[in-house]
Amino acid sequence: MHALSRSCEIAQKLGVFAVEVIAKDEGARHFYEKYGFERLIDDPNHLYLSIEVIGSIFGRKQTI
C-alpha cells in the first residue's frame, strides 16, 4: 500500500496515469484484482490501477 500511496504523491510531477503490474501467477492476479486492479487485453496477468482510483482510496483528488 505504501508504494501506491507514493505513486499518488509523484503522479502530478511525472504525469503518471496508472500503476502497472505483471502478476506471476493466477493467485497473484486474484490478489491484485481484489484491490481493484484491472486486466489489460493483451495478457490476463498484466494489470493496472489508475491513479484516479488510487487517489480515491487514499482520499486524494488527482488531476493530470
Residue by residue, pLDDT tens for the chain (64 residues) are 667 767 767 777 788 788 899 999 999 999 999 999 999 999 999 999 998 888 887 775 555 4
Domain hosting 42: range is 2-57
Is the residue at 16 inside a domain? yes
Please report the pLDDT score of residue 25 as a whole number. Answer: 97
Domain tally, the chain? 1
For residue 38, how far is the Cα from the chain centroid?
8
Is the residue at 62 inside a domain? no
- Residue 50 C-alpha cell reads as 489508475
Backbone angles phi, psi at 16, to 5 degrees: -75, 135
Is the residue at 46 inside a domain? yes
Taking the C-alpha atoms of residue 10 and residue 2, their distance in angstroms, rounded to an integer, is 13
